[in-house]
Amino acid sequence: MNKINSETLIKVDNIGLFKNDKWLVKGVSLEVKRGEIVTLIGPNGSGKTTTAKIALGIHKNIEGKVLRFTDKVGYVPQKISVDWTLPIRVVDFMLLTQNLSDEEIINALKLTGVEHLKNNNLSNLSGGEFQRVLIARAIAKNPDLLVLDEPVQGVDFKGEISLYELIKEISDKVNCGILLISHDLHVVMSSTDYVVCLNGHVCCSGTPQSVANNNKYQELFGDRASTILSVYEHKHDHTHSADGTIKRKQ
């Protein structure tokens, strides 16, 4: 892949977090460049979210160094709950950490397909709708760096594909760097530039192909995981639009 612009947006160097008598993660290094999608994969409890939070500066008292070269960060957390006592509409939520014009709000909500929910109350949204709003909020101001922690959880199958396509599109169009946490190995292998496989430490990392062929990866995810890449490559001659119809490549 030809990346014209290879400016580093964030670099974490040998980071670790020791909490409640154990290392949540240790010795993790990675780098996200402009226009690049870096994906963290790994089993539950392997420190994916922790790594992302350290990179974002949420966890204090860490080992190692985090160098962030931009302040324009969009974050989609893994979990967020807003309870009844706080009356907040989607439009208020969009403005949470940023100033946006009405047009920017509508455009962002349109991209994730939820512009009709603009004046709905946040606590009345379904899980999938809420994820779409979270993504819309994070991308509304064209950030330099997007950190997406399982951004499509709870989204229906059709929506999942189109949202991942959207993420890919944003990375190309806005030319931002994306740090993605995902369980969906298909997506990871098909549309990311660099994969970091975590299990408390960096188990292996590299291009999707090299990780898929790595023994440690196969141990961690089982034999079937390594076949995913070939499955994907087989499908490479077409893409799907949001409604599931096949678009042959010209």
Partner 1 sequence: MFDDFFIRALIAGIGIALVTGPLGCFIIWRRLSFFGDTLSHSALLGVTIAFFFELNIAFSVFLISSAIALILLKLQKTTKLPGDALLGLLAHSSLAVGLVVIGFLTTIRFDIMGLLFGDILAVNEIDLLIIWIGGALILLILKFIWKPLFASTVNHELAEAEGMNPDKVNAIFTVLLAAIIAISIKIVGLLLITGMLIMPAAMARNVSNNPTQMVKLSIIGGLLSVIIGLFSSLEINTPSGPSIITAALVLFCLTLIKIKNYSELKK
Which positions touch partner 1 (CB under 8 A)? Answer: 53, 56-58, 71, 73-75, 77, 80, 82, 85-89, 92-93, 96-98, 121, 147
Order of all β-strands in the sheet with 202-206: 73-76, 145-149, 177-181, 37-41, 194-198, 202-206
The least CB distance from residue 85 to partner 1, in Å, is 5
Tokens of 58: 């949420």
The least CB distance from residue 23 to partner 1, in Å, is 19
The least CB distance from residue 93 to partner 1, in Å, is 7
- From CA 142, how far away is CA 171, in angstroms rounded? 10
Which residues fall within 8 angstroms of residue 44, CB to CB, at 6 or more apart? none
- Using alpha carbons, select from 66, 67, 55, 225 the residue that is nearest to residue 149: 55
Specify the residue, 97 or 227, whose C-beta has the smaller distance to partner 1. 97
- Using alpha carbons, select from 120, 126, 184 the residue that is nearest to residue 151: 184
The least CB distance from residue 56 to partner 1, in Å, is 4
- Using alpha carbons, select from 226, 40, 62, 241 the residue that is nearest to residue 147: 40
- Judge contact between 92 and 118, C-beta under 8 A: no
Q: HSE, CB side, 13 Å, CA atoms: give it for residue 155.
A: 23
CA-derived radius of gyration, the chain: 18
- Using alpha carbons, select from 72, 111, 70, 119 the residue that is nearest to residue 93: 119
The least CB distance from residue 109 to partner 1, in Å, is 17
The least CB distance from residue 81 to partner 1, in Å, is 9
Specify the residue, 80 or 242, whose C-beta has the smaller distance to partner 1. 80
The least CB distance from residue 63 to partner 1, in Å, is 19
Specify the residue, 48 or 232, whose C-beta has the smaller distance to partner 1. 48
- From CA 78, how far away is CA 231, in angstroms rounded? 28
